[in-house]
Amino acid sequence: MRPIIAITGDQVHEVSPMINMNNADMAPNEIKRAVTLAGGLPIVLPVSEDSPAVTAELATQYVTLFDALIVPGGFDVDPTLYGEEPIPECGPTLRPKDLFEEALIKATVKSGKPIFAICRGIQIVNVALGGTLYQDLATQDLDATIKHAQEARGDLPTHHVSFTPDSELSNIFDAKAYVNSRHHQAVRKVAPSLHVTATAPDGVIEGIESNNNDQIVGVQWHPENMYRDSQPNYDLFVNLVERAENFAARN
């Protein structure tokens, strides 16, 4: 039996004013294909727009349905979730999705089940666990001198990242990788239960993992648009399936 890999869904009617090639790439289709090729059974979780209490209840029960969670790319994270008002450069947000994913991430962390976070995913995971974000790298991080919101086709690599030795990511990628980059927000203050395992040459955080275990692995780029031509980006999905199988075998 394939392990069940849940992916949080997007609300397409909310996305439609923004649809362009990059946003089309952010739809979970490529994630579903990568999960299936890597040996998992993908399912998509609908975003709850219910009260906080019901959302938390739904999140707790959803966790019983899957073996691992993928938190995919998407809109900017509502800055009020980390105690800031939005600056003018903050992009479109979708608060119901933020609140649903926050509840789901907390419930999944509590369960011990593995998480793989992609782009916005590592940002909302970091916020859900107590970290903060740059709302806009260009205006808030003066050291961020690399173009992170690439205008090249979304599946093409545009900047390098380097990895911390002895991390899950370095086991998959070795020391360095050349990745795509479709973000203008990034992790700022890292949540206490996470640590940085990948950075761009300008210091922007490109990968995070949970402390003292392999429960959470997150990347700031989009491996779902690179896995066809890049073995390590494919191996990120294999790694998640293996972590899901290992967790299921232990419990």
Q: Which positions are annotated as active-site residues?
A: 119, 222, 224
d(CA 181, CA 198): 13
Of 90 and 241, nearer to Mn ion (C-beta) is 90
Of 100 and 173, nearer to Mn ion (C-beta) is 173
Task: Single out the segment in contact with Mn ion by CB under 5 A; choices: 14-22, 82-90, 181-189, 225-233.
Answer: 181-189
**Look-up: residue for tokens 């780029």?**
221
**Rounded (10°) angle between helices 231-250 and 29-37:** 70
Least CB distance to Mn ion at residue 157 (A): 10
35-74 residues near Mn ion, rule: CB under 5 A? none
Task: Single out the segment in contact with Mn ion by CB under 5 A; choices: 22-30, 166-174, 179-187, 210-218.
Answer: 179-187
Is 222 a binding residue for Mn ion by CB under 5 A? The answer is no
Total residues interacting with Mn ion, rule: CB under 5 A: 2
DSSP assignment letter at 78: -
Least CB distance to Mn ion at residue 137 (A): 9
Give the number of other Cβ atoms within 10 Å of residue 155's Cβ.
16
Q: Which residues contact 87 (CB under 8 A, 6 or more apart)?
A: 79, 135, 136, 139, 140
Chain centroid to CA 102: 12
Closest CA to 75 of 124, 141, 33, 42: 124
Task: Single out the segment in contact with Mn ion by CB under 5 A; choices: 38-46, 47-55, 75-83, 146-154.
Answer: 146-154
Of 32 and 148, nearer to Mn ion (C-beta) is 148
- 73 burial (CB, 10 Å; 0-12 / 13-18 / 19+) is buried
178: number of CA atoms within 13 Å, CB side?
6
Is 8 a binding residue for Mn ion by CB under 5 A? The answer is no
Least CB distance to Mn ion at residue 183 (A): 6
Is 97 a binding residue for Mn ion by CB under 5 A? The answer is no
User: Which one of 32, 148, 188, 243 is in contact with Mn ion (CB under 5 A)?
Assistant: 148
Of all residues in the shown chain, the one whose CB is closest to Mn ion is 181
Task: Single out the segment in contact with Mn ion by CB under 5 A; choices: 29-37, 59-67, 176-184, 187-195.
Answer: 176-184
Is 181 a binding residue for Mn ion by CB under 5 A? The answer is yes
Tokens read off for 20: 């362009």
Angle subtended at Cα 247 by Cα 172 and Cα 32, rounded to the nearest 5 degrees: 60
- Report the interface residues with Mn ion, using CB under 5 A: 148, 181
